[in-house]
Structures are given as C-alpha cells and as structure tokens.
Structure 1
Amino acid sequence: MAAALALSSGTALASPTDPAPASSSAPAAGGTVSAATDRLAAQVASALADRKVRDRAVSATASAPADLLALTANTGLAQAARTANHAVLAAKGLPANSGSLLQLRVATDAMRAGLSRGEVPLVAAAPTDDEVASITAYDPLGGKVTLDPAVEPERPVLVVEVDVAKALPMGIDLMRKTLSRGGVTEAKPLSTVQSSGGYWATKIDAVRLSDDEEPWIKGAAEIYSIVGGFGLDGKATVTIVQMPYLDHDGTTYYPNQLLVHFNGYKYNLADVVMMEDDGDTNYQQLAQAIITVLLTIADAGTYIPLVNAIISAIPTSWWTDDPDYVDSWYTLSTTSRGRLNGARGNGWMDVEPYWVSEL
C-alpha cells in the first residue's frame, strides 16, 4: 500500500493503550480471531473521526480491500494493528512470521455510493459465525451501533477481517506438513507399483452449495476439502485440496478440477469432507486432531469410510461457535459419475471418471 494511502493526516493518531504482543505459542488475551478483530475495529473507528484519515481509508478501499498493516504503518494505529495481527496468527495456528492477515473492506458494493457522497462509515469486525444474532459496529462519531445481520443498513460499513484468501494456502501448507510429521501422509503411488500408462481420477464438472442466507457483512468463502482413504501401504491417508473458485453459496461453479487421484490408494474408494475457513480456522489444531483420530484406524482388509472419523476430529468448539464443516461425500470410486448430493444436504457435485495419462 502506498504511503499516501496510510491512515495518517500528517501526525501520529491517538489510539487506546495497546497490550504487549502475545507470545508466538498462544493467542493474545481473548484468544479468538473475533476478539482481536473486534477490538481493532473499535480502534479504527476512533481514528476515522479525523476527516483526513477517513478520506484516506475510503480511498484505500475504493476498489479492493486494503491491507491493514500497510494502511496503518507509521500511524498511532500501527501497534494496535500489529498486536491484532499477531493474535490472529496465533489463534489460527500459523507462525508469527507469516505476515499480515488483516484487511479493511467495504461491506457491500452498494455502500460505495454513500462513501463517495462523504457519509461517515461505521466500522465492524466480520463475524466468524454464520448464524450471528447481531453485529456490533463502531461509530467514528462515538458509541456503538447494533446491526441486523439479515438487513443491510443504509449507512456504509467498513469491515475489519482476516484475509482468508491469503491465510488458507498458508494453512493448507501447514496442515500438510503437520500431518506428514504426525504419520498421516498424502496418498502417493509407491515406486514399486506400475501405473500402466496412467491412472483414474475423479473430476468435478460442477459444484454448488446451498444458499444459507449468510449475513450481508460476510465476504467470499474459502473452501477446501479433506480427501481420505487408505494408501497403498494400508494406512489411513488424507489429501488437502483447495477449491479457491467456490466463493459463494447459491452459485454453480464449473471447475473441471481433479478431486481424487486413485493411483495412491489401496482400495477403489475415497471419502471427501468439505470445509470452510471463514476466518477462525486453527489449522494446527485441526491437523493434530486428524492425526490423533486416523492413526487409530487399521486396515481391516475391506474399505472403512473415513468421513465419520474426520468429522469427529473437528474440535468441539467449532460446532459450538461456528460450524466450519460444510458437507461430506462417502465412497467416491473410479466409476463415480453424475450428480452426488452431500450427506448433509448442503451441496452437490457433478463428477465423472477421468483418465490421467502418463507423458
């Protein structure tokens, strides 16, 4: 972000006293993504009381979300943004040196007209719960405003949130490394097995998730799938597959994406558990939970579906605070074809067998 867009009017901005940064091994006080982003939203709103600061924030978010650490650099909010970012990284199980994950975004495109007219925006943190009962926004002119998550307000809202499009690839990489170190590796062909000129895979022709009427404040989803089966060595295995195109419920996507590669499986079957990262996923915690569950499953000579085991590994708090579990599909095979409805009834996939030829 260019310096001209920084939240600065030429002098350092006053901000509430900031706590010392959290240690790299645990979240800061509050311990959650929502606690960190909500506090920062209040601090950003206070800074926007300055007209020059507000104009620069509106300009910075005019066409796309703005990186909050870059936006607040060399201002009185810099320490608050760094502290919040550190807490978010810890809460998501990511290394402290992973960089900036926080961004400022205009809640909806319809609000840009009001901002261009000079209306003073509210500032709110994006909720990590799709079923939130109310949204607390902060007024730069003072006080709090309670917003209805189902009714978009007439007044513009700037949103403090996690850049999940940036966080998810780092989280998937962390999960893969953690799973591998824990003894749960991705399904891979053994060097002693001949591929016979290629292998069968399952290709997604189309996919759609149900319209869950998410709050207007929520941004695009970041979806990934955990594909489980038994490796050629007979051990339970998982492969993490990112689905970056699957942004919104109620929309059909046509990705032509290969989801399951059967050359690394002992059986002609695999399972899929689809997950969403809407800002609060702790990748380290999820990977370790999957390891604990899957290492207890032994090859019994017949295929054992792994969906229930993977779902049982999802930390209990995720079901209480926000169900990041989207849907699941049991026993996909090399012959799976046509529309497959998810077991949860939250989505469907059109799939077909796909032969992957050797070069």
Structure 2
Amino acid sequence: MTRILMAALASVTALALTTGTAAAATPPSGSKAAAPAASSDEVFAVTDRLARQIAGALADRHVLDRTVSATASGPADLVTLERDTALGGSTRAANAAVLAAKGLPATGGSLLRVRLADPTMRAALARGEVPLVAAVPSDDEPAAVTAYDPSGGRVRLDPVKPPARPVLVVDVDVAKALPMGLQVMRDTLASQGITEARPSATTQSFATAQAGGYWATKVTAVRLNDDKEPWIKGAAEIYSVVGGFRLDGKPAVDIVQMPYLDNDGTTYYPNQLLVHFSAYKYNLADVVMMEDDGDTNYQALAQSIAGALLTIVDYGAYVPLVNAIISAIPTSWWTDDPDYVDSWYTLSTSSSGRLNGAAGNGWMDVTPYWVSEL
C-alpha cells in the first residue's frame, strides 16, 4: 500500500504544554533512529535472489508444472513446495535470513511464499506460457519491476500496468509474520519498562474499581486514501501503536492489530476497541497507524520506540507521544517504503464522530464505549 507523505510538523510538545493543541505529523528532517534501520533492502535482496533461482528452475518442465499447480488457487509456501527439490536448501536459508531481517525468532517457521501476481494471468498459464518470476521491491514507487525468465535473463516491467505475460511473485507472508512481530514488539518494549496500559491490583484507580468498568474508544468505521500502487504488491497488514501515560507517569504502549484493513479506498466497519482507558493517567492517548508489507524489522522498531519514549518526562500535563514514535521510525522508511500510515492525536474518553488523520491519509469514525467488569 502506497502512503502519502505527511504535512509539515509543528513543535507539538511545546504546543501541547501551553495549549494542548494537536498538530499534523511529518517525518523529522535528518532524524536518526536509535536502533538499526529497517531491513527492507535486506529482505528484498534475499527474495530477489530466490526469485532468480526459481526462475531458472522453471526451465525444468516438471518444476514448472508443480509450481503452476501449487499456485493455482492461491499463494504456496515455498519451504514446503521446495522441501525435496534442489532448491530446498536455498529456500530454507532464504527463509532463515528473512526471519533474522525482520527481527523474528529463528523458530518462527516458514514465511516465504510464491503467488501469481494477478488472477487474470491464470488463462495465460493454462495456454502453456512460461511465467516470469519477480520479488516484491522494497520501494513502494519503483521505476520498474525486475523479473527473471528461465534462461536467466532480466526483464524490466512497468510497475503500474500489469504485464500480459504471467508473473510469479516471491514475497513474505505478512499475515503470518505480523502476529509474531507484534509480540516481539510487546516483549521488547516490556523489557525496556514500556508496558501496555493495563491496570493491576496495585495500580488500578479507585474510580475505575468503584465504577465497575472503564471507557474505551471504539472504531465504528475507518478508511484510508486510495493511492496508485505497483501491481506486484499484495495486501499490507495494518496495526496501530497506541501511546499514553500509565498511572505511575511512565509511557505506555498498546499495539493493536487491524487485520481487516486490506485495501486503500475502501471503508471498513470493524467495531473494534482501539484505546482502552483503564489505566491511563490523563484519560488521553495517541494513535500511530503503521503497515507491514513484508520488510518491517519489529525488534529494531520496538527498540527505537522505547529509546524515544524513555526520554519523555511526565511534568503533570499530557504530552502527545506521536512525535516521539514517528521520530523513532528508521529514516530509510521515509525514503523508499513509508510504513507510516497516519496518526491521531489526543483521543479521549469522550472522543466521538469522524476524526481525520494528521497526515490527511485517512479517517476514523469513533465512539465512546463502556467496558463493564465481569
């Protein structure tokens, strides 16, 4: 999913301390992440090399027929598909490299898959046309898509107009990677003392306990802008980083997966609880919406966010955390693969109606929701 670059960034922290007013967000100029940059180029290097190897293997009719059959109804797991073939070792090594590049445990299983770029290409395969093979580029706006043919030749394809010749795409199964990655982020943040905003027996506020529940913010509808994107890209996986202050004044982060948000230009009606105000000191929280289309290094991102948030001091007035979270995003993500989607400042227990994102890339309809104790 291609994302719009954001509007100019005001000095939100100073502004919030004096007026409480939110401002639009943009990638900070020259900002440096505390942790290593995202591994988008690493992931692409691995998948591109594997795509070239698979293309060469398609010169064998048996391999071609097996691969076409495996992808006829949807993506095929590459590690399983190539387990007993000459490509088996290369595929397993590539999968291990991708797990490492995304900051996932080596025990994370198979993430690499191969799929047909577009269902309309099945007719050409049925006629016996030999497909090209390509990896998903890290750039959301590539000048061209590089594909490989069985003879080892490179073919440059238009990134906007799908080719007439069928193309098999090697990419990362982000639907499988994201839940693992979000848990890595939670664990990494917790190891730095940044936990979710959840009340405990010792920190739960008296008012919440007496009330028999707490307020939350429910998303009743959400829509992201429709942008032109390369045909080779699959659906991205969306998640939100929700930040605020715990009752003890320390930053808190909840990470919320939004698996239904597949496409831009589509309105979704999830009725999902996004912000839980059960343990926020100021009954205020910020939301930064992110995406993973295969290249996110979850561990590096969490380390960067932790490093940024731990510099924020609670002075007794709410300070929006959006800027700190955005500043933590590795600089390379702004230049070639904007994994930032949009952000919303200072949602409160009374937030209601349509809220436009600070970057102008989407909106959410929200309503207060009372969560009763069992």
Structure 2 length-normalised TM: 0.87
> Structure 2 CA distance, aligned partners of 1:292 and 1:220?
30
Question: Is 1:82 the equivalent of 2:92?
Answer: yes
> Structure 2 CA distance, aligned partners of 1:118 and 1:256?
46
Q: Which residue of 1 aligns with 2:192?
A: 182
Identity of aligned residues (%): 73
> Structure 2 CA distance, aligned partners of 1:327 and 1:30?
20
Superimposed CA distance per residue, residues 226-251 of structure 1 (whole angstroms, 9 cap, x where no aligned partner): 00000111111111000011111111
Question: Is 1:42 the equivalent of 2:57?
Answer: no
Superimposed CA distance per residue, residues 12-64 of structure 1 (whole angstroms, 9 cap, x where no aligned partner): xxxxxxxxxxxxxx99x997000000000000000011112111101101111
CA RMSD of aligned residues (A): 1.6
- Residue 240 of structure 1: which of 233, 252, 255 is its match? 255
Equivalent position amino acid for 1:358 in 2: E
**Residues 212 and 332 (structure 1), Cα distance of their counterparts in 2 relative to 1, 3 Å cut:** same
> How is 1:1-359 mapped onto 2 (pairs within 5 angstroms)?
32-192=42-202, 193-194=205-206, 195=208, 196-359=211-374
Superimposed CA distance per residue, residues 175-195 of structure 1 (whole angstroms, 9 cap, x where no aligned partner): 000100111111111324242
> Structure 1 CA distance, aligned partners of 2:275 and 2:138?
29
Note the residue ranges of structure 1 that are not aligned, 5 or more in a row: 1-25
Note the residue ranges of structure 2 that are not aligned, 5 or more in a row: 1-35
Structure 1 position 107, deviation (Å): 0.6
Equivalent position amino acid for 1:161 in 2: D
Structure 1 position 128, deviation (Å): 2.4
Q: Which runs of 4+ in 1 moved over 6 A?
A: none
SS in 1 for 2:243: strand
> Structure 1 CA distance, aligned partners of 2:315 and 2:223?
35
SS in 1 for 2:139: coil
Asked which structure has the greater RCO (Cα within 8 Å, sep 6+), the reply is: 2
Equivalent position amino acid for 2:241 in 1: I
2:51 and 2:135 in contact (8 A); partners too? yes
Equivalent position amino acid for 1:338 in 2: G
Q: Which residue of 1 aligns with 2:10?
A: none
Equivalent position amino acid for 1:191 in 2: A
Equivalent position amino acid for 1:262 in 2: F
1:37 and 1:84 in contact (8 A); partners too? yes
> Structure 2 CA distance, aligned partners of 1:107 and 1:120?
14
> Structure 2 CA distance, aligned partners of 1:307 and 1:314?
11
> Structure 2 CA distance, aligned partners of 1:129 and 1:247?
19
> Structure 1 CA distance, aligned partners of 2:216 and 2:175?
27
SS in 2 for 1:32: helix
Q: Which residue of 2 aligns with 1:19?
A: none
Structure 1 length-normalised TM: 0.90
> Structure 1 CA distance, aligned partners of 2:139 and 2:243?
27
Structure 1 position 116, deviation (Å): 1.9
**Residues 351 and 31 (structure 1), Cα distance of their counterparts in 2 relative to 1, 3 Å cut:** closer
> Structure 1 CA distance, aligned partners of 2:241 and 2:147?
35
